[in-house]
Chain A
Amino acid sequence: MGAILDLTDVHVKIEQAYVLQGVSFSVPEGELVALLGRNGAGKTTTLESILGLCPPFEGEVEFKGESLIGIPPFKIAQKGIGYSPDSARIFSELTVTENLKMGLLHHDGPKNFKAAYELFPFLEEHKENLGKSLSGGEQKLLALARAMVDETLDLLLIDEPTEGLSPENTQKVYTALEEVKDRASILLVADDLELAKEFAEEYVILSSGADQESGDIDELIRNPDIAEKYLSTGVRNGETK
């Protein structure tokens, strides 16, 4: 099966900081790839560079064999990529329904939120309320729902969906991922190794600078040393941040 998303030697600078120094990996069609790494390794920046929000100054990003370099973010999104950022970033002055509508901007045909409401019934209860009236956890779920409400999307970029959620809400995220996994390829930034182990077929670990490790998720499960090396919280081998 071919790759739906291909990153080759991507370099990104944000102001003075050299955040990504040659990131390469691909997301095979129909699979879920977990993007792992410590805080500050550049996971969120990787997603933003795919969407063109912080465009790479070097390297290649291909979606379905087409280069995304130099294309404005809204056109990249229109090609069929959904995005659920880690800080939720829902529209606080829009109602819940309107937030979901923003996820359906380029969906032709009738716009219905049934799928989203079935997964997250609380959204239907609050559908006329403003985004800012939801709790932090609810806002994160709304962001996830907004990214997956358009069922025609081919690739979802999901950033730390369970971070800071209650066990109850985490369970809802698991259900949602289970359901959406069947219809779209997913690049999932996972703060939680359990989440990756549960859903991912493959993993990519970003480390400081150009260091990077990837492979089959079973390998990661079998070999705890890899996780230990890259994901433990201690600072080792002179690596910083």
Chain B
Amino acid sequence: MIATLASALIDGLALSMLYFMIASGFSLIFGLEGIVNFAHGSLFMLGAFVSYEVVSYTGSFYLGLAAAGLSMAIIGALIESGLLRKKFGNEMAIIMITLGVMYVIHHGALIRYGAASSTYRKIPSYLQGTLKPGQLILNNYQLFIIVLGLIIAGAVFLFLNRTNVGLIVRAGIDDVDMARALGANTRRTFTLVFAIGSALAGLGGAASVGWIYASVDLGLSYLFFAFAIVVIGGLGSFKGTFYGSLLAGITHELFAYFIPFLAGPSLFILMAAILLFKPEGLAGGAKQ
């Protein structure tokens, strides 16, 4: 019982970190720019496949992760500066454009990969196998995802709280016009945040491949997960997103181990409950 509970918690934490990597970028972009990025899940999925390809060709796991993050950052910056910038303030047009991008990426990936799902053929040996302290059995790869997620969360937290650009980002989430009037180059900040958010999604996708496999369907599922988590944590709140991810991931795995048929909808039930009883989210939410 204890062993099962521990496994559920470790799996839950690992899942939380994947949730966090998709949702934190989504939330930052929404909070700062008011953009609901429907292509965000597709970037997660694309990151997974980029990493899968790079690892297949070069055999280097970390190169795969880096390539996924970097390429998604570039794609994100291009989407923002090439397509979205001209339509800022037009909520409907923004939704349409990101939907169009999502549509293209989704079907492009279908052409290349079809319905199959793939995983890394080669990962470092210390990420394979399990640790067995006492009666517990801990999966090394899940532990790796947890560590990676925490490092990224810490890095983003430091970026937001210790740098000038981070200050502008947080100020912009509050009141972007005022930040502008004080001389903050919000245009550059927007592109940067979009790139960072996309990179986080790509990294999350890359990290997920070794555990849940890369498949085209991930795109839409993880987009919806991101929706759910930002609602649970509070729209536009970074800390809220982190706690929301933890709650959602652990809940999902506890259900998966003990009441399996509720695991799938658990995230959406949480989301609906939050919208019903605390529409501003766990952290209060900087923005509605």
Contacts and interface: CB of A to CB of B under 8 A. Distances in A.
A221 interface: no
Contacts of A89: 175, 178
Given A102-B167, A105-B168, A73 B180 contact: yes
Contacts of A101: 167
Contact of A91 (B170, B185, B186): B170
Interface of B, helix, strand, loop or mixed by DSSP: helix
B173 interface: yes
A93 B181 contact: no
B179 interface: yes
B184 interface: yes
Given A85-B178, A91-B178, A93-B286, A74 B183 contact: yes
Contacts of A106: 183
A200 to B, nearest CB: 23
Interface in B179-205: 179-187
Nearest to B177: A53
Contact of A93 (B173, B177, B179, B187): B173
B181 A102 contact: no
Interface residues of B, number: 20
B171 A94 contact: yes
A51 B177 CA distance: 10
A39 interface: no
B53 interface: no
A133 interface: no
A102 B170 CA distance: 11
Nearest to B173: A93
B174 A92 contact: yes
Interface residues on A, range: 20 to 34
Contacts of A78: 183
A53 B171 contact: no
A121 to B, nearest CB: 23
Which of B164, B167, B178, B179: most chain A Cβ within 10 A?
Answer: B178
Contacts, number: 60
A146 B177 contact: no
B181 A73 contact: yes
A72 interface: yes
Contacts of A85: 178, 181
A165 interface: no
B160 to A, nearest CB: 11
B167 A94 contact: yes
A149 to B, nearest CB: 10
A105 B286 contact: no
A72 B186 CA distance: 10
Interface string B55-99: 000000000000000000000000000000000000000000000
Contacts of B167: 94, 98, 101-102
A53 B182 contact: no
Contacts of B180: 53, 72-74, 77
Contacts of A137: none
Nearest to A153: B183
A74 B286 contact: no
Contacts of A120: none
A59 interface: no
Nearest to B171: A91
Interface of A: 51, 53, 72-74, 77-78, 83, 85, 89, 91-94, 98, 101-103, 105-106, 146
23 contacts: A51-B181, A53-B180, A72-B180, A72-B187, A73-B181, A74-B181, A74-B185, A77-B180, A83-B181, A83-B182, A91-B174, A91-B178, A93-B174, A93-B286, A94-B167, A94-B170, A98-B167, A98-B170, A101-B167, A102-B184, A105-B182, A105-B184, A146-B182
Given A74-B180, A83-B182, 17 more contacts: A51-B181, A53-B180, A74-B183, A74-B184, A74-B185, A74-B186, A77-B181, A83-B181, A85-B181, A89-B175, A89-B178, A91-B170, A91-B171, A102-B171, A102-B179, A105-B182, A146-B182
Q: Which 10 A/B pairs are nearest by Cβ-Cβ distance?
A: A77-B183, A91-B174, A73-B180, A78-B183, A89-B178, A91-B171, A83-B181, A105-B183, A74-B185, A106-B183
